[in-house]
Structure 1
């Protein structure tokens, strides 16, 4: 890890570090490159692997935001964020569910959510209210739209923070999605598909990574009525044929996968999956028309062609034109220009990175003839 990287993670940690008793020792351990970081919280030691820095950061964020917390004799931390609802997290051997709870609480709080632990009538609460409950030994999170997810089957920053707290998929609140057709490319655990289905759309949800696809199926099982509107497909969009994807070599479902580039250095695994160009997928799955094409596919957007977009009215694209992709934003915009789209670029979180809009961001576009109707 370079010194710039070390200083960067210290920068993210500093606003919350006052909840840590050994703050100077923790900073030193980061600077000298220790493989494990030890926090001292109210006289108790809590260790995180350096590769789990993100979980440690969100852990101290939650403690910072809490109204109070105590550590029990069996090494669990019980905390409340509102002096009413209590959440419990073990200090050792965190499961994926525990980690996702920590990140969900931190990200949700940062973007204005409040949390309940009992079933409620959402009409009496804020739209940014989230309920975390337990059923048959598994934690479930429910949004104000009534959409449910297994807590161990989400990417908490995307699934909850972006989709249902920041509400990044809403373009206009008065848009009517009833019986519209959405093609969701990079559906991950089903959050976007369930969002559009909850607004009345029919969704074709393409997800290449099997672990993400299986998580989507689990979450669809919690939402049987909405699931009737969703067709989950374990395949990739980009180009025809078997595609080789690069994914981070870790067990959880989070992390980026791409057939366009390898962002993981030497620490990666490869999986292969059936790929389709968008026009081929439209034929293969009998999609007569695409009202909205949503893509979050780590480079596959650069494989869109004029032919692919013939039956598409609107596009909502998260693009990445990093040097490693060997593609540029100008390429994507030329295809949209040639296909008759009017479009705009925007960011959902300016604080997350320092890249130019030329390198990464979001894009929304409509075909010009449809704007004139």
Structure 2
């Protein structure tokens, strides 16, 4: 208990030094979600959170990034505003210099920590990647022989995702669009995640911390029902879309959901609602930690 209290103190000091990150976590996850994660974490995990916040308070220079991600190689890059990195497995990615912590952290989670390691065989099958970011999961599943259909509403990130797939010699079908409950045009709210990165949400009105939103961008949203319509089957649906999972799944007909074999998602609070919805649609649901949900089509 004493070790956990000491780690909690270190985390509190790091949050004070980096208030934007702490407020972002509260806005995106909700106080109850953040509190559950804290209570369920041991001293080591809390200490790691504090260390992460301390590093993210530093400018995203190559030197600072390299000091944290020591097994990542920075290759020469002549493109302005980009770093070119090579991961321990040999994958190569362009990341944005201004958002180095966010981009490199995403790559590290996918390829080194392997947060998507619990997935079915996707070789020769279709994977839908909702919230493709800079192409990390699109590359991850395409490497394993999947046909990947990727959706990313942020135009710059979508373009970078395409570049990264090509950089790794892979073909991925990218769509410059988000996925939701209805096909429509919306304005996407951009939210600061600290000085080095941005995050987005489709639901700015749900949060008491709306003052953190600094800009809106027009985006095209495609209904999940419409995404699934031309497909006979989907081996895996991956979702990490800042809250879009609720409207997308609620608005999709049960017959369309039955095309999906497996779902992996990073959810944003209201996990009980998602679990109930997926179980009603015939999925067996497992939650790992306080962020990741795995659903498999039942027999």
What TM-score does the superposition give when structure 1 sets the normalisation length? 0.58
Match status 1:58 vs 2:55: yes
What do you get for the CA RMSD once the two structures are aligned? Answer: 3.5
**1:202 Cα offset (Å):** 0.9
Structure 2: distance between partners of 1:190 and 1:287? 22
In the alignment, what sits opposite 2:96?
152
* Residue 368 of structure 1: aligned partner: 298
- Closer/same/farther in 2, CA of residues 339 and 30 from structure 1, 3 Å limit: closer
Q: Indicate the residue corresponding to 2:74 in structure 1.
A: 132
Q: Which has the larger radius of gyration?
A: 1
The 5 Å alignment of 1:1-373 reads: 11-12=10-11, 57-58=54-55, 98=61, 102-103=64-65, 105-106=67-68, 108=69, 114-115=70-71, 130-136=72-78, 139-152=83-96, 155-156=102-103, 158-171=105-118, 175-223=120-168, 225-226=169-170, 228=171, 230-240=172-182, 241-248=184-191, 254-261=197-204, 265-268=210-213, 269-283=215-229, 286-303=230-247, 304-305=249-250, 307=253, 308-321=256-269, 328-347=270-289, 357=290, 361-369=291-299
Q: Is the 8 A contact 1:181 1:202 kept in 2?
A: yes
1:319/1:56 Cα in 2 relative to 1: closer, same or farther (>3 Å)?
closer
Distance (whole Å) between structure 2 residues aligned to residue 231 and residue 148 of structure 1: 19
Give the conservation status (yes or no) of the 8 Å contact 1:190–1:216: yes
Structure 2 unaligned spans of 5+: 1-6, 19-49
- Closer, same or farther in 2 for the Cα pair 1:102/1:151, shift >3 Å? farther
Change (3 A) 1:104 1:335: farther
Deviation readout 1:218-241 (Å, 9 max, x if unpaired): 322312x21x2x111111111221
TM-score normalised according to structure 2 size: 0.71
Q: CA deviation at 1:180?
A: 1.6
For 1:212, what is the secondary structure of its paired residue? helix
Once the two structures are superposed, residues 237-260 of structure 1 have per-residue CA deviations (whole angstroms, 9 ceiling, x without a partner) of 112211222112589883321112
C-alpha displacement of 1:176 = 2.8
Alpha-carbon distance, 1:134 to partner? 1.1
Distance 1:131 1:13, change over 3 A: farther
Q: CA deviation at 1:152?
A: 2.1
Higher-helix-fraction structure = 2
Larger RCO: 1 or 2 (CA < 8 Å, sep 6+): 2
> Which sections of structure 1, spanning at least 5 residues, go unmatched?
1-7, 16-26, 32-52, 62-93, 109-113, 116-129, 322-327, 348-356
